[in-house]
Amino acid sequence: MALITLSRFLIEEERHKQFICADLRFLVEIVSRACKAISIAIGKGNLAGVLGGAGTDNVQGEAQKKLDVISNEILLEANEWGGHLAAMTSEEMEDPHLIPHRYPKGEYLLVFDPLDGSSNIDVNISVGTIFSVLRCPEGVPVDSDNVFLQPGTQQVCAGFAVYGPTTLLVLTFGDGVHCFTLDREFGHFVLTQEHIRIPEDTREFAINMSNARFWEAPVKRYIDELLAGKDGPRGKDFNMRWVASMVADVFRILTRGGVFLYPLDSKMKDKGGKLRLMYEANPMAMIVEQAGGVATTGRQRILDIQPTSLHQRVPVILGSRNEVERVAGYHRD
Ligand code: AHG
Ligand code: MN
Ligand code: MN
């Protein structure tokens, strides 16, 4: 059977399912090309002098890595000239990036975390890019943050790349989740998994245990029960994994199931959580739901949250249906 490249997959989605239009197809092609460029920059590492800190802080007060800045630039430059976007916003920039006047404007908005897991970059552990596509609402000035403040249910596409042993691109247009692998010799992404489904049950969990003393009671209860294993109320042993790159943890969950938690804790209560709603939680929640999983803050479905600001943070609990529903149940108790 002929290999299905990303380009062919997108054309067929447009032609047969009328699921996407030419502009959205073009947008995803451009984002995938930017991800290839980021993957190449990351792959060069110290040979190209791209590792280490940039010496600057982002709007969130986090120290930026050189590759945070490089990846952000690659995505901005790739996406501003094509005429498919009205504006972009990034975890690494305080304000949205408007399309320069010399280029035509389109009907879509692009939202991204250019480099997820960047604390791992200098130690050669997988990192990634997360993105989300929204429609630009009519009647709202495009230079206001408000155009972006739409609940995750409004996303028309969400995806992420993982720069790991292989470079992967995971995509959804609201009709299942598909994974493409970068063929480095030919330079294109090839469809390698279609209609990924997350197993409903799991024996694997992902959480940063060093925050245990700051967690709220429902999360403490849940993790205590998992740690008690065979002798506890769950009657079976659980395994733990924490890559500290959400892209890698979520890809593992798409592949073999699991539950991922970055819950609210007392040391970041005023911030609302660690992960960012627009750049991380919403795209990942859409992908996880499209693969049959669940994504919640513990108290609310992530995709239903009405954002109030661009860089808003939320608690995130997602993955295998039965485990995530159990954690949500503990929050209701
Ligand atoms: P980013 O590198 O974009 O700031 O995101 C890092 C995120 C996420 O990828 C990961 O799950 C989490 O932060 C790790 O946090 P800890 O270092 O607190 O474990
Ligand atoms: Mn991130
Ligand atoms: Mn990031």
**Domain membership flag for residue 131:** yes
Q: Is 60 in the pocket of ligand 1 (CB under 6 A)?
A: no
- C-alpha 15 – ligand 2 centre gap (Å): 34
Q: Is 71 in the pocket of ligand 1 (CB under 6 A)?
A: no
For tokens 């992908």, name the residue: 287
148 and 249 belong to one structural domain: no
**Domain membership flag for residue 198:** no
Structural domain boundaries enclosing 236? 204-332
The pTM for the full model equals 0.98
Beta bridge partners of 294: 319
Atom of ligand 1 at shortest range from CA of 60: 4
**Domain membership flag for residue 199:** no
Phi-psi domain of 241 (left: phi exceeds 0; alpha: psi -120 through 50; beta: other): beta
219 and 167 belong to one structural domain: no
174 and 225 belong to one structural domain: no
Nearest Cα residue to atom 15 of ligand 1: 244
- Quote the number of domains for the chain: 2
Atom of ligand 1 at shortest range from CA of 247: 9
Residue (of 128, 43, 27) closest to 79 by Cα position: 27
Atom of ligand 1 at shortest range from CA of 274: 13
Nearest Cα residue to atom 19 of ligand 1: 244
129 and 234 belong to one structural domain: no
Residue 238 · residue 205 · CB < 8 Å: yes
185 and 270 belong to one structural domain: no
Q: Could you read off the pLDDT tens digit of each residue along the chain, which spans 333 residues?
A: 789 999 999 999 999 877 799 999 999 999 999 999 999 999 999 999 999 999 999 988 889 999 999 999 999 999 999 999 999 999 999 999 999 999 999 999 999 999 999 999 999 999 999 999 999 999 888 889 999 999 999 999 999 999 999 999 999 999 999 999 999 999 999 999 999 999 999 999 999 999 999 999 999 999 999 999 999 999 999 999 999 999 999 999 999 999 999 999 999 999 999 999 999 999 999 999 999 999 999 999 999 999 999 999 999 999 999 999 999 999 999
- Whichever domain contains 279, its CATH number is 3.40.190.80
